[in-house]
A and B are shown apart, each in its own frame.
Chain A
Amino acid sequence: MTALRSQSHLKELEDEGIYIMREVAAQFERPVLLFSGGKDSIVMFHLALKAFYPGKVPFPLMHVDTGHNFSETIEFRDRLVEKYGVDLIIGSVQESIDEGRVEEETGPDASRNALQTVTLLDTLKKHQVDAALGGGRRDEEKARAKERFFSHRDIFGQWDPKNQRPELWNLYNGRKKPGENFRVFPISNWTEMDVWQYIAQEEIEIPSIYFAHERRVFNRRGVWLADTEFINKMDDEEVITKVVRFRTIGDATCTGAVVSEASNMEDIIQEVASARETERGTRHDDKRSETAMEDRKKQGYF
């Protein structure tokens, strides 16, 4: 009589993620999946493959490209698009700069991270996107702890923390007025550890820079940054070669590497398990102010 649920936490998180994917496909007309080439967006895409199997993923990927990429990420992205035959929309920060929509930052800490918001919103608007699937997780940062699965954005793409809809049971309300849209976070309930464990369990391919490799880096205020053409180094910043890997993948100007020998999934999980810092701790952009993330969020960046 009793058919017991044979579920591990990963299975339950996966089933929930798939459920959200299908709700998005059913409730919206023009969804996209925001794809950065990072592990969270790769996991999201994996869930989308499962949600619509044996059909194709019924929405395109969208990449907001700062132009400051690690080449490994872009190669990975293009291979994936080719393999699964999905459409890719690219929003280019460089174009936003060229069109005068935003102004490039200057100085040593110049980053295109803040500029991304404008490009993102412009691209969503241009393609009349009504739901953008994001890989945000509630464990990432305090400001995200109260985020909804279905996060409503006003016509300016802004998020009002006071005006979010209560979410009960598994009933997600995606109703909106013309011009408004949603950010949807199917892996809200996952932690960094869950993501890594899931990647290992499912044997999902991820970009090589997540694994230990030799790279030319320099240290800025405790963060190891890759030496790339996109960063203005200061005179006293010395470039050395170190074995490192990345815990998150973002704009090359502000994503810090960790010194690590972890060269396979098992090592990485081991390392995450004993980590003493949150993954965002390696993100230079969050260190600027204690509420940095929240401020960016209100403006529309995730």
Chain B
Amino acid sequence: MSNSNTDNAYLNMDMLRFTTAGSVDDGKSTLIGRLLYDSKSIFEDQMEAIEKTSKSSGEEEVNLALLTDGLKAEREQKITIDVAYRYFATPKRKFIIADTPGHTQYTRNMVTGASTADLAIILVDASKGILTQSRRHAFISSLLRIPHLVVAVNKMDLVDYNESVFDEIVKDFEEFARKLDVSDVTFIPISALKGDNVVDKSENMSWYNGSTLLHHLETVKVDAADNVLDFRFPVQYVIRPGMHFRGFSGQVASGHVRPGDEIMALPSGISSKVKELVTRDGNLEIANPRDSVAITLEDEIDISRGDMIVRKDNVPTIRNEFEAFLCWMNERELDVTKQYILQHTSRQVQVFIEEIYYRMNVDTLSREDAHELKLNEIGRVRLKTSQSLFFDPYQINQKTGSFIIIDPTTNVTVGAGMIRAGSTRSKNVDVEEAKDLVSPNVTWEPWNISRQEREHRNGHRAKVLWFTGISGAGKSTIAKVLEQKLWEQKKQTILLDGDQVRHGLNGDLGFSAKDRKENIRRVGHLARLFFEHGNIVLCTFISPYANDRAFVRSLFEEEPDFIEVHITCDPKTAQERDPKGLYARAAAGEITGLTGYDAEYEAPMSAEITINTDKMSVEKAVAAIMEMIA
């Protein structure tokens, strides 16, 4: 590969894993061939081979798509049927492409490819526009939480490199992507066939000022998906060369650890201190995400494969019942009465998938009733394992939030899951407890006038719009304009705001995690009361914790009219806006625990609508929400 530099530049190279998705004939193979070819990653003998094949099948030009072609059977049938991995490097970066074909096994392959990707390229044929498949690709990318999306609008040569065609596609995609939880989308107009904007800047599209595709791939941030906060160390293998050494080996899943740190072993709960972080190249002073090390401890405690080492003051959820999104990957459909094996970090346990809440229609993003999950279907399910797992929600920690399901009869991997939260059905779930909180000796009394009657008289349905996001993201601004609009349409509304309820009703609460939780609990019930009164209830609360929001949602579980609205923007923008002067005060050290500054915000995984106020005006945002609740 002639452009790889030899003057030790490689020591500073990093690595980007990306996945490519497109419908058949969108030009995915051509694009990959083009990237390999233009980055000079193709050898002469490979080139000769494809020239020969192109000729013998009567093609005029050398077919770059042949470069990425795999197995014999597929070559004969001219289709690709599985995830294939390709490699190329530029002086800046090494790239691993997980190439997933857009055919029958689509969802399964895309989920597989996406599970390890830092970035997804979604190909769109400019002459056809956004198709159902493009939406599916975007949804899966957001479900698997790939940090970066690139929409490559291909075949621009077929539409005369026309800017308005590109703009239209961008608009369509953004419209749809609002329903998804994707934070970084980049649109690039290209022609894979002619090479425009792939590696070299196109001379045919002077209206486009952005990066070429390769330049974008070379500069995008690589470790965006790593959780650097919560130390989790699943033990893979215990190294015991003799009596005096016991090293717990594994790869740091998230967070970091140093010698001297107080740790706790799960499931035993026994504490100790880290003695050394051992590697053959010398002991480390710190172990970061993805570092493979062996940890020794000050005390002799019993730890084996499948156990997890964590910090004493930062423990994952420990539970044997939880909810997850599950992608089914086998011809034999999911059987809710069957015992499967679940593999999570370094543990294998037995599992029942006890209930399917719904199936996600990946093309329309609507929820469908489901009693089974078939190959390539994705559903929300509740699982129960023989022993507790140590997990975090997938949206917070991909390493401790992911699992696979194995069929014990065939030993085949049949499912892939992403944990959402501990199940609301299990006994000691705080959510459930809070929801069912009742004063002693009190029984429920039905409403005198039902909500349905009130809705009928008001002429519209009651709804709850839950606006969540960091301070300064734009929750209140948007909600206020929205309420004004609704008011003008003679809708019955109320806007509940954080600062209001903290006067009076919640005036006794502070900002600790516990108080925040109580705050949200009360507001949830308050919203419920207004909802029962027939209102369109707009709630603007930072509500940083996924669990607390899950609680509020659970109050409206049977209602299709609870809508979570995630208002997001670059934290930098929020700090600049600083409408309440909070960031300035935090920076001056006057307040601590400010969400988005020095306290964590757990972004929603499946908000009904996500609005990025860096990219969208207030008017547009309001219009989008209006459309949704119309």
Contact = CB atoms under 8 A, between A and B. Distances in A.
Interface string A1-30: 111111111101111001100110110000
A274 B4 CA distance: 8
A161 B74 CA distance: 11
A197 interface: yes
A232 interface: no
A9 B223 CA distance: 12
Contact of B413 (A18, A145, A165, A194): A165
A6 B289 CA distance: 10
B420 to A, nearest CB: 16
B14 A7 contact: yes
B249 A51 contact: yes
Contacts of A19: 236, 250-251, 292
Contacts of A291: 72
A168 B329 CA distance: 11
A270 to B, nearest CB: 5
Interface in A48-65: 49-56
A169 B413 contact: no
A208 interface: no
Interface of B is mostly: mixed
Nearest to B241: A55
Chain B contact patch, size range:
35 or more
B101 to A, nearest CB: 11
B28 interface: no
A13 B87 CA distance: 13
Interface stretch (A36-44, A86-94, A107-115, A136-144): A136-144
A55 B404 contact: no
Nearest to B251: A19
A293 B326 CA distance: 36
B346 A26 contact: yes
A194 B94 contact: yes
Given A3-B256, A291-B72, A189 B278 contact: no
B14 A169 contact: no
A240 interface: no
Contact of A273 (B1, B46, B249): B1
Contact of A277 (B44, B81, B255, B406): B44
Interface string B246-257: 010111000110
Interface string B275-294: 00011110000101111101
B279 A50 contact: yes
B239 A54 contact: yes
Interface in B398-421: 398-399, 402-404, 406, 408, 411-413, 416
B85 A146 contact: yes
A281 B280 CA distance: 36
B240 interface: yes
A191 interface: yes
Interface stretch (A69-77, A126-134, A171-179, A209-217): A171-179
A278 B413 contact: no
A166 B87 contact: no
A273 B237 contact: no
A14 B292 CA distance: 9
B112 A171 contact: no
Contacts of B93: 9
Interface in A115-129: none
B70 A171 contact: no
B291 A15 contact: yes
A48 to B, nearest CB: 10
Interface in B544-578: none
Given A49-B280, A53-B278, A55-B241, A7 B343 contact: no
Given A55-B241, A146-B84, A193 B89 contact: yes
Contacts, number: 201
A176 B112 contact: no
A74 to B, nearest CB: 27
Contact of B13 (A5, A8, A177, A276): A8
Contacts of A8: 10-14
A201 interface: yes
B15 A12 contact: yes
A168 B405 CA distance: 11
B439 interface: no
A145 B83 CA distance: 8
A53 B294 contact: yes
Nearest to A145: B84
A281 B87 contact: no
B132 to A, nearest CB: 23
B312 to A, nearest CB: 18
B411 A10 contact: no
B413 A161 contact: no
Contact of A168 (B115, B223, B305): B115
B292 A51 contact: yes
A171 B290 contact: no
Contact of B290 (A15, A49, A277): A15
A154 to B, nearest CB: 12
B343 A4 contact: no
A162 B80 CA distance: 12
Contact of A201 (B11, B43, B255, B402): B11
Contacts of A169: 115-116, 398-399, 402, 404
B65 interface: no
A266 interface: yes
Contacts of A197: 10
A301 to B, nearest CB: 16
Q: Considering the complex of A and B, which 10 residue pairs feature the smallest CB-CB distances, nearest first?
A: A53-B280, A55-B241, A9-B15, A18-B292, A175-B411, A3-B256, A281-B45, A145-B84, A168-B115, A9-B94
Interface of B: 1-2, 4-6, 10-15, 43-46, 49, 53, 68-73, 81-87, 89, 93-94, 96, 99, 108-109, 111-112, 115-116, 223, 226, 228-229, 236-237, 239-241, 245, 247, 249-251, 255-256, 278-281, 286, 288-292, 294, 305, 329, 341, 343-344, 346, 398-399, 402-404, 406, 408, 411-413, 416, 598
17 contacts: A5-B289, A7-B290, A22-B250, A26-B305, A54-B280, A55-B245, A139-B86, A145-B85, A146-B70, A146-B83, A166-B108, A166-B109, A171-B402, A171-B404, A189-B85, A193-B89, A276-B43
Given A12-B15, A51-B292, A168-B116, 12 more contacts: A9-B93, A15-B251, A26-B237, A54-B241, A138-B87, A146-B71, A146-B83, A165-B413, A168-B111, A169-B115, A175-B406, A193-B1
